[in-house]
Chains A and B, each alone.
Chain A
Amino acid sequence: MSALAANIAPAPRAVKAPSVRAVPSAKTSAPPRISYAIATLVGIFAILAGQLVLSIALGNGAYAIQDLERQLAERNRDLSIVSEEIGQMQDPQTLATLAVSLGMVDDGDPAYLRLSDAAVLGSGQPAVAGSTSVVSVVPGEDAAAVETVVAAMAAQATEGESMTAFASLTEDTSGGDAETISVLEGVDAQVPVVTAQTSVAGSFGGDLPSPTTH
């Protein structure tokens, strides 16, 4: 730039410029250096390669997303199975049938102690074993259906098995590549898994808890 500027700079005023002067011979430009060409080509290829890598990464991401979406759908299915089971078990009718099958009875004649004079209000008679039964409220209802649910739950309770749906949560349903599985292990870890408990009786009647206090 500076060279060019010097070339076209007017001659100093002090020297009288000749009216006619030879056109300065065109400065022969130096042949383009090979390094420029290489740099340009490398640049272009670098851009192309970068684009390729980026698009491969994006493409991979698309597959990862699809895989995760599929796994999300599977988890939602797990959720729907489990919430259906929970709903069924929360049904007061099922709960009552379960309670009765365990031998619980409803005391329809409760008694109270009046604190002021220690009087017993009510008969205070204990409920009779086997006096409670759950009545069907729908005519022609298939009582066997409720019994089946109750029997299945009772079996699970006694055998200490986890519910089938909970158990299935521990299975890997993803089938994705190693990377996505490792991502999902964290998610799996947060899903409560009901482990088999053969007996909880041991936790009752033992030593009192002794928390450390400061």
Chain B
Amino acid sequence: MPTAHPATRRTARRMGTVSLIVGIVVVAFMVRLVDIQVVRASELSAESAERRTSTQMLWAERGRILDRNFQALAENADRYDVTASPRHVSDFRRGGVTVSVLDALAEIEAITGTPAAEMYAAVSKDPESDFAYLSKDATTEQYRQVIDLDIPWVYFERTADRYYPFGSTAGNLTGMMGTDGPLEGVELKWDSCLQAEHGTLTYQHGADYVKLPGTTQVSTPPINGGDVVLTIDSDLQWFVLQQLASTGQSLGAQSGSAMVVEVKTGEILAAADWPTFDPNDFSNTPQSNLRAATFTSAFEPGSTLKTITMAALLEEGLTYPDEQFEVPATYAIPGGRYIRNAGGGAAGNLTSTGILSRSSNTGTVILGERISPKTLNKYFTKFGFGQSTTVDFLGEQTGYMQDPDTIDSVTVHTQTFGQGMSATMAQMASAYQSIANGGEKLPLRMMTGCSQQDGTFDAVDKGKPERVISESTAKTLISMLETVPQGGTLQYRVNVPGYRIAAKTGTAEIAENGVYGDERMISIAGMVPADDPQFVVVVAFVKPQTNRFSYAAAPVYRIPPSSEQPTLPPITW
């Protein structure tokens, strides 16, 4: 090869330099590429996605609470919080007219009712902030009206409000929602069925925040809550509540409660408490009203429990309906104490039926001496006393029974007529259901199940029926109870033409500060119609003033009247 021409060498040098520069540039780009594509890849793509991506909440609805006819006792209502950006709050032009801040706030006040001064204070508290509440819980109609005002610095936040269409009718059972979640009743007890989980939707948007087609992605699907289906009949519940309120007011009672149970299913149709509260607005309600007393308060039941004592005696073969007694007016029990009756009619020549029908304390104690405390306790337990019912309502009481091994010498006698032990209305209703259902106790139920949004229905286990007393004992007992409205303590008091009613009254003395005073709790527990019991009704009033005897009106049921007159066991002899 000949020696390269100087010009050629220069060219080669230049080529070399250029190649070097190109090489350096390429390497620099390579480094940058690797840096962007590999080293900071996730960070950068996240940043880019963040700029283009928005997240939207997908609302999930909390489940409703339905009655047995699927009428909503609790549902959701949309509410809106009106908010503002104080940084941007200023006078603005609308339709060629300048609107001042105060004028705008006055317009909002006219719609939502929140005082303009209060809203002004909210926006002027921190003028540099970007967020302030103007008015909370505006209804949809108010929300639309505020939107129509066309105020540039007003924004809205959607909130879910719980709404109880039937108000106070079933407030004691549904409970209510507070700002942070369920507070009482079914809302809290069956929250696991009702609760909803909001979902999220992510999407990429353009400059005007319109979703770019094909970029929407449900990152978390919303899960609507299930509907809780109760066994309550809200019309009946309302009727019972009305009767409680009107009777309670005329009695001057402190409170009243009632429960209606369907005999053949053990389903609670009504569980009403008076006075009650409106779950839509309970801020001024005293705490004592915010409860379902039928489950949560245990009381000394008094004479309605004599039916249970009689059931035990009959089942054990220790007496029979026509057995004759010369019942004394007072009866001495060990320890120098005396058992007395409420009235003269509860003594004299009475049959076992008469003792129950005239509600004789002395007669019941004499009969009760035939059964050992242990056996009696066994029957009380079988009937469901001393334990929570299968409803297992929130805060349900178990009541109190003394241990038969250590029971004191007075209570062993008084518990036969329902003093010295305590029970809830629900327990009493369950016990009477057992008798009405031919001696077979069905688990008490208030919730049918949870109706999931996907169409499945999670039924609550119905439980197993449990035989408490024989069918013949139950029949005998019902006919004995039927004498109460015919000739016993309820004579002519509970009289529904064409219906045979079997019921037992109770007037329990209320112990306060350790002594029994003048105050009473009156109650009736019974079943209709007596020839084929369909419903068990338990009614009680606490501290009635105008009348302290144990009669209260039993609600009327629209069922076919019985046609035959019963042959009832004699009360006296």
Contacts and interface: CB of A to CB of B under 8 A. Distances in A.
A87 B242 CA distance: 20
Given A77-B144, A91-B165, A112 B284 contact: no
Residue among A66, A77, A87, A136 with most chain B CB within 10 A: A87
Nearest to B282: A138
B372 interface: no
A139 B241 CA distance: 13
Given A62-B213, A122-B498, A138-B276, A92 B561 contact: no
Interface string B29-52: 000000000000000000000000
B498 A121 contact: yes
B497 interface: yes
A135 B245 contact: yes
Contacts of A108: 556
A88 interface: yes
B184 interface: no
Interface in A117-167: 121-123, 134-141, 164-165
B217 interface: no
- Chain A interface size, as a band, is 35 or more
A103 interface: no
A68 B529 CA distance: 59
Chain B interface size, under 10 / 10 to 19 / 20 to 34 / 35 or more: 35 or more
Interface string A102-116: 000000111110101
A136 B169 CA distance: 10
A80 B276 contact: no
B211 A81 contact: no
Contact of A138 (B165, B277, B498): B277
Contacts of B275: 137-139
A83 B74 CA distance: 12
B213 A58 contact: yes
Contact of A137 (B77, B144, B241, B563): B241
Contacts of B242: 96, 134-135, 137
Contacts of B144: 77
Interface in A50-107: 58-59, 61-63, 65-66, 76-77, 80-81, 83-84, 87-88, 90-93, 96
B274 A137 contact: yes
A41 B388 CA distance: 86
B213 A92 contact: no
Interface of A: 58-59, 61-63, 65-66, 76-77, 80-81, 83-84, 87-88, 90-93, 96, 108-112, 114, 116, 121-123, 134-141, 164-165
Given A62-B211, A65-B213, A81-B141, 10 more contacts: A58-B213, A59-B213, A61-B213, A62-B210, A80-B77, A80-B140, A81-B139, A91-B169, A112-B497, A121-B498
22 contacts: A63-B210, A65-B213, A77-B78, A77-B144, A84-B77, A88-B165, A90-B71, A90-B166, A92-B169, A112-B497, A116-B563, A121-B498, A135-B245, A135-B246, A135-B249, A137-B242, A137-B245, A137-B276, A138-B168, A138-B278, A138-B285, A165-B141
